[in-house]
Amino acid sequence: VTQCFKTIPHKCRAVILTGNGKSFSAGADITWMKKMANYTHEENVTDASKLFDMFYQIKSTPVPVIARVNGAAIGGGSGLVAACDMAFSANTSTFGFTEVKLGLVPAVISAFVLPKIGSTNSSRYFLTGERFDAAEAYRIGLINGIYNDISTLDSTINNI
């Protein structure tokens, strides 16, 4: 993903980031996260830096990046939504910063989430790990619009 966003041609009008299947992004691979528990401090820093670079490349892309949220956006998936310039969602999508339920802090994505939803909402969702629906994601500013069906969602994005 990082390399793709580093090489987006300037003639491109926009980038649409979406999931393939029922989820937008369910976040990090749990097996990978368990392996990280055995990483050295230096390995963890390197890994976190690579992850931050991916989010940073999305945020700093010279063309608009639009999240098309077609399902669950959990953990880093909600971080991806926050890194985008705009986000539009199916009304059935769910969101959450659930890292705390794994004993982790959503530190890497916080740089992108805090400016998007503010410190009050970040504190609540980072500390509780509770999941929330598209209406709440809209209310707190994580997404810009909610659509009852995928065809209307796609039509809206295509008209931007």
Q: What are the residue numbers of the active site? A: 99
**In whole angstroms, what separates CA 110 from the centre of its chain?**
11
